[in-house]
Structure 1
């Protein structure tokens, strides 16, 4: 057996084995006899560090190098020179196709071929990258196969583990409860999106689209700009609970969702940003729950606040009730309630104001101030605070203003300087109305703008009403006490006045019974008794007269009366007392006749009582003046004296029953104190009024009676003659006068007829409407204060009738304020006249109407 192995120069275990190998059974003999191709390939293989093998001959005898020996493990060294299929029977099914193909002369390369191999006594799977190269004889025939065997089991398993990990990561990405997406490039093209992201967006097929194309409705919500910043800066952006509106239903409205999210830039190893990883969660439900919880918390807080406020209001109302119960003086009530309201509401000023509708003035008193503003006291014209503001109070509406400097009702140049000077920037005013008339108001002022809560307004209104009720109760109780006192004084006075005549009567009766009287004495005694009985009869008549008047049993005969005649009768009745006391009586009367509608007897009684009153309280030799003046609407009768005068505190009660006792304590003047009360009652029965004025004790008195004037035809003639400058219109008109005061309507009609006009008169609105439809007038003069439909409503209805739509409408009213003028013009009137009507102005107006 040959041992010629010197041709293999490599070292190693396989070469050592080959040198010791018995080649007798090898088909081609020992290496020295091998074909050159086999020898060269085998020598190359032995020198290589790569696992290589060589299959030769028809039996595919196995030759390999040291590196391959490591692969076949326990099969080495027995596998050397043995037939391949004996060594690797387990690989025949997998390897035969490649080997046979190579034997046909076709090189074969297979990467990561999975093979079942036996190692360490057990079968296992392994992966190899195999390169099969045919080895040819000199004649070109394939005699063997050279194979490079690289085991890639480790790499394949690692790749498979990596693939599994990637697959798992993909599944996690897809199944993640939060939404995820990967966008690439500056245009933010969708590369990956998970199911949660698609569900949030409400659409499919996002991959490959830019975010601006895929969800265009997000434009303008800030998200596209946020992606641009993240891509440009490489810094992530985080959002918590931000809203986003998405068009999830193509046919529906955008839906608002709330999201938490992170825009994380994808930065490559070179530091460049290539995309953005979007991750987040839809927190709409949590947001809604939080919103609901917040709402419930707010409601709870509001309920607690309302409960606390209710407890505070209840405590306030209890304090107010205790205060009103324990206070009896009106000014004490005003003062204490003002302070209580002011401290509770934490305002700077609280005060009450009493309103005089005739003079349009308000008197403030009972201030509470917190120390930051000055007290407001005294009497002021309502115009200083805005006539329209007081007009709303007259209607009974609470006046509320949160910022006077900006409110159109108070910010004008005619009102704001007043409020600014008083440091009033917000206010509430509660009117106190009785019988439809404003009598007082509760004023709440604050030095800063303030939004007044509804519960505060209700509390203020309640406090105002309860306070005023307490004041009225206190005043009523005081009035009852005063009336009771006056009644007691009157009874004492009555007893005194009755005893005075009874004493001489009684004495005369006793004398007549005691002595025999001659004719002269009997006549003298009889005259005394007659005078005293007449005096007592007068006292009783006065009592009965007062009783009838106060019970409404006196009938006033409304007939035209010449006041000069009334004055003459009254003067005649008081002449004896005037002469007795040597008074100087002066009469200042107009030249023309002055008429009123009334009862001759009662009118004389009014003047007689006033003249008697002046004579009684004027010292002997004093001066008394009776003065009469008249204008187009009223007659003024004044009785003035230079007598003892009247104290200021008595003047408001001088017309009350039995007030005479307070005027003079020595009773030197006598009487029951009924005269002035009768004057007041009788004057009011004539639709007039009476007033008293005195500068004080020792300074005389002036009593003034105001009565409506009545024009007789003779009066009109005298007035036309005395006023030559008054124009008379050329042409005539049909005029409709509507006034529920029959006398006033008749007098105006007589005046206008005297000017040549055709005049229609009605006293009710509904009859006036019907008559105007049948006999359409050119001009309508309408009283505003009509009982069924007021003048404003009547004007609107006349404008609505085709027959009177173009008639000239003139309002005749007792109110001359600007707001009244605006009101009637808004109702459809063309002109506005104030009672008493200026006749010259009316004639000029009618002349203009005829001319136009």
Structure 2
């Protein structure tokens, strides 16, 4: 039991003048201090002071060593203790009439109680002993019934409070206009943990609510009696009791709650009952769903716009592809099915047979003179096996016009099997060149090569040129047949699929996927054509004049061009500060050389380290500039090193490219009498070294 304070210890108790007045008072006055358990509940009252009138009536000393419940055990059942506790907790004056037995006599006691400072001041007066007359007996019986009813009401309230303690809702009861916490169930107490609530006005117990609408709502309910219903209302509390007051520092939670006015037996409002539920999770979930719906609607709108743009781009690219196909200098056609029906014929192919109808007709029906040639057998083999076939200057006898004479022709061509979406061969792609004139020219040269030595030399040079042209043509035809077959096949199949999709209702169509596949095929087609164009342009490029080219600005210019790749890889390009100031070389060609070597170093980087590319230049004993580009990338095996400068050599398949960059670099270097070599170890990087003669062109 806690130590009982004396009257002099009571904070805020009247000074000696008031003490003297109490001592002289004929009314009995007691000052109690509450006994509070660990849960914050008032369980008893300790006697702190009894004035003389109270001492005489109760037969107790001024400061008895006992408690209210010990002295008056019947008070727990007849409602007297509950009266004292309620008066203390509410802070409002309370009155009660009850019976008290002393010296075998029973007295009617009039009680008045009021909380003073941290204690309870109680005044009581004996109205007289209970008489035995019928009227007095009836009065006594009435008072006993009233007390019994009051006690029963208090017991019922206690039972109700015990039930509310177990309720899942957050429940509290406010008493009086200051909204003093009179009852708080565990769920409500959990809002603020161990913070004291009972016996305190809400403004004192929860000061962080200042600036929020709670106090105003409570006042309105108390004043008007109108019930208030809150739906998902934001209430911010200092749940962790960290002394936070600013709204920006308080956690946001949402509640459904009811403020219901409580009325006394006279019908007057004397408190408010609160029922609340924390609905924060469902509010946050709904807010999340709303945000996701908004984002989804935005994405759908964006996808719709992107789809329309993609459709327009695909249509433009299809038209460009049609133009490219129809304007290609090579003779191109598509033979469909085992009957090899002409499904597509470009103008260059049709020009070889002007006036002869080809489209929609089987090959041997359109060109019956080929029946006894090797062509039907070769096509049947390609269709059956799927293996491509290449021919160089194959002699054929055919008529260029219907009914015309058979002419001796020479064709260099590639037959490539076309496959459907399931990989089955369903046609043959033909890429051909009519080389009759070249063959005829070569035959003329060969027939006359025994004439004069000068003519022989001239014919030899022409033949060498023709040989190079044929070699380039071989590469072109092979590359075209290999790299163009899939895009063309895909585009044809995708066009058919697109027609089918466009015929479907919008809800069933899947045009976006078809358009995306068409886009990929077109891009592959364009890349292949670009690579072949680069090689063709190089073969015909004119010599560029050699000039002194500052090395540092050139490397910086290349580094800026490769900024996106450097950003993605996190790589660095460093120029040795002791490198040559200038290199005498064709500026455009030198830039191409440096760009290819640095970009390759970044593209073929090792996945487990940041790429570092070092550029150095020095002059060798012969006065040539030695340009080195060193990286820490994947490196090369000996077999790869032997093939690295070949045309269309792709040594690492996971990196996009055509395998022509280093081939062109080698051509650039060797054309001026230089050389290029590479040192490399797998996993240790590579060093490319270009030796460039340093001489200015003569006037």
Normalization by structure 2: what TM-score? 0.31
Normalization by structure 1: what TM-score? 0.26
Q: Which of 1 and 2 has greater Rg?
A: 1
Larger relative contact order (Cα-Cα within 8 Å, sequence gap ≥ 6): 2
